Amino acid sequence: MLAYLYQLCLVVFLLQGFTLPLLPAVSGALWWRLSRRLEALRGELQADRRKGAETDEAFGRMLARLPKLRPLNCESCGGAVLLREDATLCPYCGARGRPPEDYAAALRLKAEAERLLKSAVRHWRVANLLTHPLARWTFLLLIFAEPLVLFPAVVVGSNVFPDAPLDRAFAALGEGWAFLLMLSSFLGFVVWMVVFIFLAGLSKSLRVKLPVVPVFEGAARGRETASCQACGGAVEYDAGAFACLCGYCNVENFRARFVRRERVRAERQGASAGSALFGAAEIIEEFLGTFFFVLLFLAVASILLTLFLAFKKLL
């Protein structure tokens, strides 16, 4: 039982050494990618804020000028056209036309806001995990586990169980390689301890920056009635629908005012999802950046120390 524990500790100890050159490369690449994304997001958010300066009052006046319902007719033959996702289709002459501008924009912005929200939730989960008190305690525990559990276990274990399979593999490697392996593992042990100290501090200080992820309520459900703009007949439609087809004359009535409002709503939802994403990604970026720069600093420091010792020996 104890022999297994020793072997497990030794594997962890060696892994810390093995992964030492990989970690700065991986964390550096991830950090770089995320900070580029944050930069792009910052630009988008600033552009959104400038656009959103339009007052609610001006928006209300503009909205009032739009017709509630507008019949959609074919540009070529004047017949009633059907509204499709990316075009209007005339069933009489087969001509395809451009859908109303607000319609295309509202659909696009809605999809964009949903995509941003999904991404924000994903990043928020990671940021929440990293800044959770449980994570902080784990980091603190690991700081002490390194010198108080892992290191003694490896040292004591190698004396008590000198004939463990890993020790035999060590002996087979030859003295030079075994020494190098042990040296890198010892370096890894020191590096991880320092990294955990930094991460524990970061976890505590970044908790307050965790953003609130917005919840988008679905469009109001229910049915509404109005009169068809082409024939005057009664049309009934879903409260969230962008257009309604008249059952009497088959003309599609486009809900111009509603769609404009939906377009602006989607724009605002996209902006709030974007800023939540930004806040969460910023926390992850700080973790990655700290991890990377601490590793980099320790690597440079140990190289300088080695050079210094080598020079001192020469002189």
- Per CB under 5 A, residues contacting Zn ion are 74, 76-77, 79, 90, 92-93, 95, 228, 230-231, 233, 246, 248-249, 251
Q: Indicate the length of the chain as a whole number.
A: 315
Neighbours of 280 (CB within 10 A): 25
> Which CB sits closer to Zn ion, 92 or 137?
92
Smallest distance, Zn ion to C-beta of residue 92, A:
5
Burial class (CB in 10 A: 0-12, 13-18, 19+), 94: exposed
Paired strand residues for 237:
224
Tokens standing for residue 200: 């524990």
6: Cα within 13 Å, side-chain hemisphere: 18
> Which CB sits closer to Zn ion, 34 or 246?
246
> Which CB sits closer to Zn ion, 88 or 269?
88
Residue with the two structure tokens 């289709």: 89
> Which CB sits closer to Zn ion, 244 or 281?
244
Smallest distance, Zn ion to C-beta of residue 63, A:
24
> Which CB sits closer to Zn ion, 196 or 254?
254
Smallest distance, Zn ion to C-beta of residue 226, A:
11
Smallest distance, Zn ion to C-beta of residue 279, A:
49
> Which CB sits closer to Zn ion, 59 or 248?
248
DSSP state of 209: G
Smallest distance, Zn ion to C-beta of residue 113, A:
33
Smallest distance, Zn ion to C-beta of residue 78, A:
7
At 240 the three-state DSSP class reads coil
Residue with the two structure tokens 């009032």: 64
Cα–Cα distance measured from residue 158 to residue 41, given in angstroms and rounded to the nearest whole number:
52
Q: Edge-to-edge strand order for the sheet containing 88-89?
A: 82-83, 88-89, 96-97
